Chains A and B, each alone.
Chain A
C-alpha cells in the first residue's frame, strides 16, 4: 500500500523529484513504523521455554548471559566457576554477544534488578522482566537491523531507473517484515537481528564500494554469532576477487586484512592475555562434542539419516571431516565465480549459495540457521521473486515444529498471511523479473507442493503421530523442506554461473 501511495504521488504530480524525496521519507517511515508495530505485537506472545523448568529455553539463556556478564569480570565469562556453571546455559557465542548482554544487563539492572541478580535470578520469569527483555530485542532490531536495511535499500537502488520508488518501498517492506526473523527474534527470543543487521550493513557497504567498512561490519557480525561464518566464503571471495582487480592487489589485501584483524583484536582484547584463554573461548564456540545434527533440522545429514545412520556408522571426528569437505565442496563453485568475476549481483547469489551450503552440509546446524540463507534471498527479492517466495515458505515450514513448541502458531499464521499480502501487492506491481514465472507442469507441481505443505501444517497441529514413530511428522516436514532447499541451492548456483557467462557474453559483444 505504501508503494501505491508513492505511485499515486507519481501519477498526480508527474515527476517533480523534490516531491518524490519528501514522499520517500514519509513512505519509509510508514513502513518502518508498521514493522515496529508488528514486532511489538508478536512480542506479546510467549517465548521459548516459558514456564518450562528447570532448563527453560533461549529466553533464559539470554537472560542468564546478562546475569553472568553483569556480575562477573569479562575474563571469567567463558570459565566454569562456582557462580558461572557452564553446563547451565554457558555462554557459547563470541565476545560481542557477551558485550551486548552486558549492555542490556545494565538496562535491566537499572529498571528491574531482581531479573539479573547473580544465581538467585535463575529461571526468573516476570511480566516486567519479559517486557524489558523484549524491549532490548526491539531496540537492537531498530537500531541495527532497520538502519542497515534502509541503508541497503537506498544503496541497492541508487543506480536503477524508473519505478524505483515503488520497488524500494516493496523491497524494504519485505526485508523488514520477514516473518522468519520476526518470529525467531521477537517470538522465540534471540538477537539474530544484530548479527544479521551487521551483515546487511556489510553488504550495503560493499554495494556502495566501502570495502573497509564492509570488512569491519562483517567482522563484527562474525563476532556476534559465529554462524555469520556461513557468509564468510562469499565475502572473502568477492573481496578477494575485487582485490585482484585492484591496481595494487597485495596492498589492498593487506589493508582489508588489517581492518579485519584490528576489529578482531579490539573485540577479543580481554582474552588476548594468554593463548589458553583464547582457546577456552574458542572451545565454547565450537561444540564439536555434540552430534552432527540435533532434532529434525532440514539439512543434508539429518534428512539422509533416514536412510544412512551417520551417527552409528561413523565416529564424530570422521563426520566432522565429512561435513567440512561437503561444505567446502558446496561453497567452492560460487567462490570461484566470485574470485574470477566479482560483481554486485553475483555477490548476492554467492551469499545465498555459501549460506545454503553451510546450512545443508555443515556440522551442528540448527533449524533457526535457515535465517541466514533467507537473508540474501530477501536481497534478491526483485530479481528472483519466485526463489525468494519459495525459500520463505519452506523456511517457515521447516521452523514450524519449533515455533509450535513455543506456542507461536497464531503469530506464525498472521505473519505468513501478511507476507503473502505484501508480496502480492495489488494494482501497481513492482517491476519484477517475470522471465521465470512458472508455467504448465512446473506450476502444477508447485501448487501441489504448496498444498502439501499447508496440509502438513494442519496435520502437525491436529493429528497425533503413531506411537511407533513419534517424530513422523517432523521427519516428513524435514524431508519436504530439505528437498526444496536443495533445489533452491542448485538453482541459485546455476544462476550465479549463468550470470557470469552472460556478463562474459556482454563483454564479447562489446568487443565485437
Chain B
C-alpha cells in the first residue's frame, strides 16, 4: 500500500507539473459541458447549441459534469457561465479542470490497486509502472485533456471483479461505464456472452434467476441515467447526439487502423487505373478535411458505411465470442476485452487515435502473465504511444512527448528484463543501445540468437527494426521533410506515413492477439 501510494504520488507530481502545458479544444468542450449542466435544466442539456461543442457523451457523464460544476461554481462562477464562460482561459478554470482530471484519476488508482493486490510484488510494480505511469494516459488526459483515466479506472474495476468471479458487480460497473462513455460498447457483446455463460449457469431456475438479477442491475444503471431524459421526452435528442454518423470514416488524422490501408489501396488503384487509361473521377470529398459530407470519398473501392464497419467489428470479434461461449474463464476475460477493443479500434467507424488507450490499459494486465505477452506489449505500447504524437503539435511539448515515450520504453525494458530476462537481458540492453546508435542488424541478430537459447525478454531483430523505423519516420517528418521538401509540398505525408506505419503494428498486434485467443 505504501509503495502503491509512492507510485501514484510520483505520477501525481508529474500531472501537476503538466498543468501549464498545451490543451486542446477538448478543454473548452469540457468547460462548456460544465456550463451546460450547471446553468440549464436537464431537459435542455442535449439540445443546447450555444457553443459548437455540444454535449455528446451519455447521461452519466453529464451527471458527472454536473457534479463537478458545483465545485466549479464555488471556485469561479464564470467557469460555468454559458455565455461569458466561452473560451474562458483564466488560471482558475485551468487549475480547476486540470485538477478535476487529476482527482478523478483516483478511480484509476483504485482499479489498479484492486487488480494488483493479489499479485506478487514484482508483478505489482510492473503493473503500476505500465498503468500509473502510462505515457499515453499522461499525453491524452493531462496534456491534451480528457477524462480517460477515470473511465478506464471503471473498466479496470469491472475487470477486477470479473477476475475474482464477482460477475454481478463486474457487470454493474460495465453498465456504468457504458452510460458514461458509449464508445466502450464495443466490448458489450463479449460482456453479454461471458456473463450469460459464466454467471447465468447452474440449473434452469438458478440461471433464470441470475439472468434477471443481472438484468435488474444493468437495467437500473440505464434507467437512472436515461430515465430522466425519457421522462422529459429528450431521449431522441440524446441518442442523436450520441451517435453522430454524419462524421466520416476516418478522423482528420487517420487513426492507425485497417481503414488506412483501405484508403491507400483506393488511392493506389485510382492512380494505376488512371495511368492505364480508365476514366477515374477524383472524389469530391477528401480525407484530410475532417468532416465529410454525403459524397463518397473513394474513387474505386466501394464506399464504407457505418453498418459495414459494425459488421466487420462483430465478424472480427466472433472467434473471441465463440471462445467465451464455449469456455467462459475469468482468467481470460481481460485478454478478451482487450481484444474486443482492438477490433473496435481497427475496424470501427470514425475511430480516434486516442481509442488505442482502451486496449493498451487492459493489455498491461495481460502483459505481466508471460514473456511472450511482455514482448508484444513492449512493441505495441511504444507504437500506440507514438501514434498519439500528432495530438501534441506545439514545439514546447515536443521534448515532453519524446521523453515520456523514451522513459516508458526504458522502464519497460528494465522491468521486463528484471522479471523475465535471466540470461539474455544484457543482449537486449546492448542491442537496443547499439541499435539506436548505428542501426546495424548484427546486434539484432545476436538478440534473435538469444531468443533461441532461452525464454528471456528480448525484443528480437524484427521488432528492433520496426521500432527503428518509427525513429526514421519521426526524423523524416520532423526534420528531413521540412528541410528537403519545404513546408509547402506534401504536408500530409508525415502524418500519412505515421498512420500507415503504426497501422502495421496495430494489425500485427490484432493478429497476434487473435492467434493467442484461438490457441488457448
Binding site for B on A (CB under 8 A): 1-2, 4-5, 8-9, 12-13, 18-19, 22-23, 25-27, 29-30, 33-34, 36-38, 40-42, 44-45, 127-128, 131, 138, 410-411, 413-415, 417-418, 421, 424-427
A-B contact pairs, 6 of them (CB 8 A): A19-B426, A22-B426, A38-B17, A44-B20, A127-B396, A411-B17
Q: Mark B370-410, 1 if CB is under 8 A from A, else 0.
A: 00000000000000000000000001100110011011001
Q: Kindly provide the distance from the CB of A44 to the nearest chain B CB, expressed in whole angstroms.
A: 5
Q: Using A41-B14, A42-B17, A410-B20 as known contacts, say yes or no to A30 and B418 having CB atoms under 8 A apart.
A: no
Is B7 part of the contact surface with A, judged by Cβ < 8 Å? Answer: yes
A414 x B20 contact (CB < 8 A): no
Q: Which residues of B contact A27 (CB under 8 A)?
A: 414
Is B429 part of the contact surface with A, judged by Cβ < 8 Å? Answer: yes
- Of the candidates B6, B400, B429, B430, which one forms a contact with A37 in the assembled complex, judged by CB atoms under 8 Å apart? B400
Q: Using A44-B20, A127-B396, A413-B16 as known contacts, say yes or no to A18 and B426 having CB atoms under 8 A apart.
A: yes
Chain B interface size, under 10 / 10 to 19 / 20 to 34 / 35 or more: 35 or more
A42 and chain B: residue at smallest CB distance: B17
A26 and B412 CA atoms in complex are apart in Å by 10
B403 x A418 contact (CB < 8 A): no
A414 and chain B: residue at smallest CB distance: B16
Is B206 part of the contact surface with A, judged by Cβ < 8 Å? Answer: no
Is B122 part of the contact surface with A, judged by Cβ < 8 Å? Answer: yes
Is B413 part of the contact surface with A, judged by Cβ < 8 Å? Answer: yes
A33 x B9 contact (CB < 8 A): no
A403 and B3 CA atoms in complex are apart in Å by 31
B396 x A34 contact (CB < 8 A): no
Q: Which residues of A contact B14 (CB under 8 A)?
A: 37-38, 41, 414
B418 x A12 contact (CB < 8 A): yes
A426 x B2 contact (CB < 8 A): yes
Known: A1-B7, A44-B20, A426-B6. 20 other contacts (CB 8 A): A1-B10, A1-B125, A5-B415, A8-B125, A12-B122, A12-B419, A25-B433, A26-B414, A29-B410, A30-B407, A33-B407, A37-B400, A38-B14, A44-B21, A131-B395, A410-B19, A413-B16, A414-B16, A427-B2, A427-B3
- Of the candidates A131, A410, A425, which one forms a contact with B396 in the assembled complex, judged by CB atoms under 8 Å apart? A131
A76 and B164 CA atoms in complex are apart in Å by 76
Q: Kindly provide the distance from the CB of A248 to the nearest chain B CB, expressed in whole angstroms.
A: 45
Secondary structure at chain B's binding surface: helix, strand, loop or mixed?
helix
- Of the candidates A13, A30, A128, A421, which one forms a contact with B9 in the assembled complex, judged by CB atoms under 8 Å apart? A421
B418 x A25 contact (CB < 8 A): no
Is B269 part of the contact surface with A, judged by Cβ < 8 Å? Answer: no
Binding site for A on B (CB under 8 A): 2-3, 5-7, 9-10, 12-14, 16-21, 121-122, 125, 129, 395-396, 399-400, 403-404, 406-407, 410-411, 413-415, 417-419, 422, 425-426, 429-430, 433
A2 and B410 CA atoms in complex are apart in Å by 11
Q: Which residues of B contact A19 (CB under 8 A)?
A: 425-426
Q: Which residues of B contact A418 (CB under 8 A)?
A: 10, 13
Q: Kindly provide the distance from the CB of A430 to the nearest chain B CB, expressed in whole angstroms.
A: 14
Q: Which residues of B contact A9 (CB under 8 A)?
A: 418
A9 and B420 CA atoms in complex are apart in Å by 10
Q: Which residues of A contact B3 (CB under 8 A)?
A: 426-427
A417 and B16 CA atoms in complex are apart in Å by 10
A365 and B399 CA atoms in complex are apart in Å by 35
Q: Which residues of A contact B396 (CB under 8 A)?
A: 44, 127, 131
Q: Kindly provide the distance from the CB of B28 to the nearest chain A CB, expressed in whole angstroms.
A: 20
Q: Which residues of A contact B415 (CB under 8 A)?
A: 5
A23 and B10 CA atoms in complex are apart in Å by 22
B400 and chain A: residue at smallest CB distance: A40
Q: Kindly provide the distance from the CB of A107 to the nearest chain B CB, expressed in whole angstroms.
A: 15
A344 and B453 CA atoms in complex are apart in Å by 47
A186 and B406 CA atoms in complex are apart in Å by 21
Q: Kindly provide the distance from the CB of A281 to the nearest chain B CB, expressed in whole angstroms.
A: 36
Q: Which residues of B contact A427 (CB under 8 A)?
A: 2-3
B429 x A25 contact (CB < 8 A): yes
B418 x A45 contact (CB < 8 A): no
A424 and B9 CA atoms in complex are apart in Å by 12
